[in-house]
Chains A and B, each alone.
Chain A
């Protein structure tokens, strides 16, 4: 406290000195790159960043070591001998249950689950949001509230009923079933996202399009869609990461030969028999996390813009 007071009175003195100076301050305010404030701020940021990056570093380093080197126990030391064998094994020949073709099987399963789920859920949710925002039908508010409440119901409650429903329809254990489940569970949050985005668009634009004679689909496809790329990017990111990282639905609604990558990863890492191959586990984990990571890196800027546009307004 005393220090603060001292520095403040110092500031005051300096200010007085400046104002007494005939010239006084003028022009650009000088910036001190190495001020105490900057050092503290950036120092903290760097330390925190390092702290969060450390596990990733350990994973990468471990995945590049051979087992003998790992057994030495120096988890932070860089590999003496770089080997890519764990990566190859994780991808192509690690065993889960009876299958010994590595994560590649799970990867393609995940692709076949994620792509249709993302496309289907976004296609439906964006039309939902557009209808809720622009075509105020009777009971629209009630419908919207029900949809939002849906977002707060824990998934676990619905797992067993859905198992029964899928079984009765005859698609239990198939990828189609899982795609439908993912699409339905993405609906509340995506509809909210799209509705808020479309609500924030100028109402007059919609009216102008109606005067110009465009109908429900005409306005959606030719006016709204081209204007809402940022929110579509956000939706794609949310859905790709959410569905790719999903474990629960994947393990419940599929069979071993259609397991998504996350379930397969779990089976590799948590195998209770044989040697724990830490390097293979690390490589497998990085491989599985790579898809969402790439999505984030490629679309980071758009993501922030879309979130800001969609979430704040409305």
Chain B
């Protein structure tokens, strides 16, 4: 996939996990560099949380090996792996105060008292939970609880942080606040972090690299922008981006100047960057274009491809407006500024640059 990382902080080699006949993770390989922020992204049931639990040692794997900091930890207990974990439901011990919650792991490990106090003071300062130390978790708000949960991983002085959908239980506003805090935390600590989420915005904003997963297999592992602009298959293309990418069914006409043809539409693909070279044979394919890459009116005229259409539905979303129209009989949505006044039935001109589009094989769903 790409050049091997010289000294991976976490290295997963040929990992498989089966429950009886059901295969949850299939021969999975993943190298995480020192200090890297990796996001495992995918729909529910794709195996991303399972993978995280395997790394943490909470699930026994069927095959393969896991290295953390160059040490084979495949058979190690969670506590011996040098990891700290933050859970979706916070998982704070309800009968203990915040301070006791933070120190539990250290007390179990028999760390001296003054060392515990030092580490708690440091975590409390980083996360600004000093005033909450003597409270019980039930007296905290969701955001505060999650901060304490992060603190519990922090005091253990670990190499790798594992986050299992840590923000999913919070409301939208808190979520974006804590997202920024986690990003700052990563910048300050420079620890390796592996973060599981189904929220693509969290993935895009936090990650150094995103691993998009489906059916226990990593579909694509790349920097967020690469995944966004050059998805390797139709699943990745459709999963990232909101509103979702438009897909037009049609076929590819081969030749010197390849063209995408659907009902009454023909898009010249001269500017499109094909993956590899052997894939330009004529075949049925799917043409994908993101709503934000479609221009309207005057701007459309400047684009390599333009077409006439009519407005079907207008969805105002506040910051911008989503317009639904049809191209070659197939539904297409695009984004315009919120101040554009469009009405149902208006005749419009739309245009886009095929260089920003993605072309997928209709049979294999792979990028062409």
Contact = CB atoms under 8 A, between A and B. Distances in A.
Interface of A: 202, 204-205, 207-214, 218, 222-223, 226-227
Interface stretch (B101-109, B250-258, B265-273, B308-316): B101-109
B152 A208 contact: yes
B95 interface: yes
Contact of B108 (A205, A207, A218): A218
B95 A211 contact: no
B79 A213 contact: yes
Contacts of A210: 57-58, 77-79
Given A205-B93, A208-B152, A226-B95, A213 B108 contact: yes
B78 A204 contact: no
B95 A227 contact: yes
A220 to B, nearest CB: 13
B13 interface: no
A214 B96 CA distance: 15
Interface string B56-89: 1110000000000000000001110001110111
Given A212-B105, A212-B108, A226-B95, A207 B85 contact: yes
A21 B272 CA distance: 72
B329 interface: no
B104 A207 contact: no
Contacts of A212: 79, 104-105, 108, 152, 156
Contacts of B355: none
- Of listed B87, B92, B109, B156, residue having the most chain A CB within 10 A: B87
B281 interface: no
B79 A227 contact: no
Interface of B: 53, 56-58, 77-79, 83-85, 87-89, 91-95, 104-105, 108-109, 152, 156, 164
Given A207-B85, A208-B152, A214 B93 contact: no
22 contacts: A202-B89, A204-B87, A204-B88, A204-B89, A204-B164, A205-B91, A207-B53, A207-B87, A208-B87, A209-B93, A210-B57, A211-B58, A211-B79, A211-B84, A212-B79, A212-B156, A213-B79, A213-B105, A213-B108, A214-B108, A223-B93, A227-B93
B105 A202 contact: no
Contacts, number: 58
A130 to B, nearest CB: 16
Nearest to A205: B91
> Would you list the 5 A-B pairs with minimal beta carbon distance, nearest first?
A213-B79, A212-B105, A208-B91, A204-B91, A204-B87
- Chain A contact residues, majority secondary structure: helix
A205 B58 CA distance: 12
- Of listed A210, A211, A214, A222, residue having the most chain B CB within 10 A: A211
B282 to A, nearest CB: 53
Contacts of B105: 211-214
A214 B89 CA distance: 19
Contacts of A226: 95
A214 B91 CA distance: 14
Nearest to A218: B108
Contacts of B57: 210
A153 B131 CA distance: 57
Contacts of A214: 104-105, 108
Contact of A202 (B56, B91, B108, B109): B91
B290 to A, nearest CB: 36
A252 B104 CA distance: 50
Contacts of B152: 208, 212
Nearest to B93: A223
A254 B88 CA distance: 55
Contacts of B93: 205, 208-209, 223, 227
B367 to A, nearest CB: 37
Contacts of B88: 204
A214 B152 CA distance: 14
A209 B58 CA distance: 11
Contacts of A207: 53, 56, 58, 85, 87, 91
B109 A211 contact: no
- Of listed A209, A212, A222, A223, residue having the most chain B CB within 10 A: A212
Given A209-B104, A211-B83, A212-B105, 7 more contacts: A207-B91, A210-B57, A210-B78, A210-B79, A212-B79, A213-B79, A222-B104
A207 B78 CA distance: 9
A153 to B, nearest CB: 32
Contacts of B109: 213
Contacts of B83: 211
Contacts of A227: 93-95
Nearest to B56: A211
Nearest to A208: B91
A218 B77 CA distance: 14
Nearest to B89: A204
- Of listed A204, A205, A227, residue having the most chain B CB within 10 A: A204
A223 B94 CA distance: 9
B85 A208 contact: yes
A268 B109 CA distance: 60
A205 B87 CA distance: 9
B102 to A, nearest CB: 10
B157 to A, nearest CB: 13
Contacts of B79: 210-213
A208 B104 CA distance: 10
- Of listed A202, A210, A213, A218, residue having the most chain B CB within 10 A: A213
Nearest to B164: A204
- Of listed A204, A205, A208, A222, residue having the most chain B CB within 10 A: A208
A160 B85 CA distance: 55
B193 to A, nearest CB: 15
B194 to A, nearest CB: 14
A205 B152 CA distance: 13
Contacts of B85: 207-208, 211
A183 B208 CA distance: 58
A225 to B, nearest CB: 9
Contacts of A202: 89, 91
A209 B105 CA distance: 8
Nearest to B108: A213
Contacts of A209: 93, 104
